[in-house]
Amino acid sequence: MKLRFYPYTLELRHAFTLATSSRTSTPAMMVEVERDGVIGYGEAAMPPYLGESQETAAAFLSKVDWDKLPDPFQLEEILPAIDALAPGHPAAKAAIDIALHDWVGKKCGAPWFRLWGLDATKAPVTSFTIGIDLPDVVRQKTREAEAYKIIKVKLGRENDRAMIAAIRDVTDKPITVDANQGWTQRDEALRMIEWLAVRGVLFVEQPMPRAQRADTAWLRERSPLPLIADESCQRLTDVAALRGVFDGISIKLMKCTGLREAHQMILLARALGLKVMLGCMTETSCAISAAAQLSPLVDWADLDGALLIKNDLFDGARIIEGKISLPNRPGIGIVKRT
C-alpha cells in the first residue's frame, strides 16, 4: 500500500462565526492510498480551535509504517493499530480510515451503504447551517437556504433572540439550534430553550460547556426540547456516560477517527436509547460523502460542509431538495474533479 498526502486549504463562501471563533478558511490534509491500481481517498479537515494542523497531521501520517500493515481489508486490525500510534490526532486518523474504506469498497465494487446493508432511500434530509451574524445577513442567508428543509442556527451569544427572529422573518421551516457551549447559566439556558420551543425549534445541540455536565443533566430534566451532545461527545468511549445527561449525540468523523468508530457509536447510542445526529466540519465532498454512507442509520444529518466551501475537490453525495442523495459508486462514492 502506498500513502500520499498533501495540505489543502478549504476556502469558505462566507466567514463562519461560532460562539467562540470566526474564520474564512479551514486547513485540511488530503490523503490517498494506492494498491493494485486502485486509489482510496481520505481527508482530514482541521478547524484550528480543535488543535490539529497540517503540521501535526503530516507528522502523524509519517508515523504509519505502511510496509508492516496486513491485508488492507483487515480494517479491524489496521485502524486500532493506527489509533494506538499516538493519542489525539482524530482528524488525521479519520483521513486514513476514510481512504482505506474507500479503497476496500472500490475493491469490492460496492458503496459502503450497501456493504453495511443500508437502504439509501432512508438517508435523511440535511440541515443547512447559518452562522452568527447581523439580522440582515441572517435573513439573506436564510433566503439562500431555500432548498433545505431544516435550518441550523448557531447561537450562544448575546444576539440569540435576534438571530431566531431574523430567520422567522423569512421562513417557518423547522430550526435546529447549536449553542456551541455558549450558555453558562442553567436557569437562563432553560428560559432560552422554553422561548425556542414555541418557535419551531426541533432540538438544542450542546447548550452548556462540556465541563458543566451536572448542569446539563439538570437542564435536560426540565427542557421541553431534546438536548444533543456535540463537544461533550468525541469518541466511542464517551457515549455511555452521556445517557441521562443528553437525549442524543452528534457524531463527526473528524472527532471520532472515522467511519469504523462512527458506525460503532451509532450502534451503541441506539442500544442506550440515544438519538443520533451525523455532523461535519467544513469539509470537501470526500469526508462528507464518507459520512453520508452512514446517514440512513441516523435521526438527523447536518452534512452541509461541502456546500460551505468554494473549492471542493470531489463530486460525491449530493443534497437534492434538502435530502442526502447517495451515488451508486463504490467505496465512499466520490470521483475527483479534474
Q: Which residues of the chain form contacts with Mg ion (CB under 5 A)? A: 178, 205, 230
Q: Which residue is nearest to Mg ion (CB)?
A: 230
Give φ, ψ of 199 to 5 degrees: -120, 30
Query: What is the nearest approach in angstroms of Mg ion to the Cβ of residue 302?
Result: 8
Query: What is the nearest approach in angstroms of Mg ion to the Cβ of residue 331?
Result: 27
By C-beta, is 32 or 302 nearer to Mg ion?
Answer: 302
Q: Check: CB of residue 205 under 8 Å from CB of residue 179.
A: yes
By C-beta, is 52 or 178 nearer to Mg ion?
Answer: 178
Distance CA 294, CA 296 (A): 6
Residue 230, Cβ density class (10 Å: 0-12 exposed, 13-18 middle, ≥19 buried) = buried
By C-beta, is 300 or 314 nearer to Mg ion?
Answer: 300
Distance CA 18, CA 21 (A): 5
150: Cα separation from own chain's centroid: 16
CA-to-CA separations, 259 to 12, 51, 181, 298, 302, in angstroms, rounded = 25, 21, 26, 14, 16
By C-beta, is 46 or 118 nearer to Mg ion?
Answer: 46
By C-beta, is 160 or 230 nearer to Mg ion?
Answer: 230
Instruction: Encode 148-181: b = buried (16+ Cβ within 10 Å), e = exposed.
Output: bebbbbbbbbebbeebbebbeebbebebbbbbbb
Query: What is the nearest approach in angstroms of Mg ion to the Cβ of residue 179?
Result: 8
Query: What is the nearest approach in angstroms of Mg ion to the Cβ of residue 114?
Result: 29
By C-beta, is 43 or 205 nearer to Mg ion?
Answer: 205
Query: What is the nearest approach in angstroms of Mg ion to the Cβ of residue 75?
Result: 27
Report strand pairing: 150-154 vs 175-178.
parallel
Strand partners, 177: 153, 204
Please give the single-letter amino acid code of residue 101. Answer: H
By C-beta, is 83 or 178 nearer to Mg ion?
Answer: 178
Query: What is the nearest approach in angstroms of Mg ion to the Cβ of residue 284?
Result: 19
By C-beta, is 47 or 333 nearer to Mg ion?
Answer: 47
Query: What is the nearest approach in angstroms of Mg ion to the Cβ of residue 213?
Result: 17
Query: What is the nearest approach in angstroms of Mg ion to the Cβ of residue 101?
Result: 24
Distance CA 315, CA 115 (A): 21
Query: What is the nearest approach in angstroms of Mg ion to the Cβ of residue 174?
Result: 17
By C-beta, is 131 or 331 nearer to Mg ion?
Answer: 131
Nearest to 151 by CA among 196, 190, 192, 202: 202
